[in-house]
Amino acid sequence: MAGAGNGRVVIEANLLPAGSLSILCGGAGDLLDHLQSGDVVMFTGSAATAERLRSHDAFRAGAVRLNVEADSLNASILGPDQGPDSPSFDLFIREVVREMTLKAGQKCTAIRRVLVPRAHERALTEALIAESQKVIVGDPSNPTVTMGPLASAAQQAAVREGIQALAADAQQIYGSKDVQLVDADPGSGAFVAPTLFRATSRSRLVHTLEVFGPVATVVAYENEDDAMRLAKTGGGSLVASVFSSDTAFLARAARDLGAAHGRLLLVDPSIGNSHAGHGIVMPSCIHGGPGRAGGGEELGGLRALWMYHQRVAVQGAADVVAAVREGGIDMSGADKK
């Protein structure tokens, strides 16, 4: 019921015209059985659920339009030129922890894999732990709290199960089941502490399992090619961010990672304190993600409305086309050749 609660907050704040927001929370039941040509379904969630949707007759045989944004093992990369005393090091640490804990890590664009030069792995993990220790978990209405609970007890159980699975494949370096809470009762809220792992050379699960909560894994790379390879091992992601002072490296990263990602954030010190953030897409920025990320689009602003429009090309003599336009069909955005 988290969606309903958030909807009430928006309505009570009078942010939108009356009646423009409608939210129905609950099971889908037989809703998909009633889909027909011309309908559109927009889905955000796990790859497993997306696969169940795609197998439904409405999409498989009926060609109902389905846009999928699925789970994504998004990576953030610290460039090989960035050591502990470099301009981007602290910016990188701050961004990783912010993205790991914002909305308690329950957002599809959160950082899941932290790719760092092997030479700086120890310094970076120590800095990440120190920054994570500053996170205050509890009731979000308390102004000192910086991370609230997960959306439900079921998701809390799923995150704990994922943490246990990762612990068999990587080294847990920070996090505890007994989280210290502010103004909150552990028994009445779905709280999970920020949790960090360090991948070993044998780790494989960190590139295939997304734990949908405040969990991230540090993965050391040997050189630039290795960093790009590891980022793409996620099988297709919504977003990757790259932090470096080397413009040429940032450009190479964009060319190398572009085919495997829907969006790339390239951060040098000049925008270190002004960029929107790894996980925040601007309303007019169209992105999605290939492969595991669903192959769909994440849309914002007016551009999102095109997902609900049918497009038709009209050909004919000039006077016929003019008559069509005069009849009320708006072709202002069409190719009129």
Cβ pair 217, 114 in contact under 8 A: yes
Q: How far is CA 13 from CA 1, 8, 16, 71, in A?
A: 19, 8, 8, 31
**Which amino acid belongs to residue 202?**
R
Provide the token pair at 175. 């996090």
Distance, in Å, from the CA atom of 280 to the CA atom of 17, rounded to the nearest integer, reads: 25
Question: Which DSSP string corresponds to 194-220?
Answer: -EEEEE-TT--GGGT---SSSEEEEEE
Catalytic hit among 12, 25, 51, 108: 108
Which helix (H) or strand (E) element contains residue 313?
Answer: none
Catalytic hit among 12, 25, 51, 69: 69
Sheet holding 215-221, edge to edge: 170-174, 195-199, 215-221, 113-117, 75-78, 237-243, 261-267
The answer to whether residue 108 is catalytic is: yes
DSSP label at 189? S
Q: Which residues are catalytic, by number?
A: 69, 108
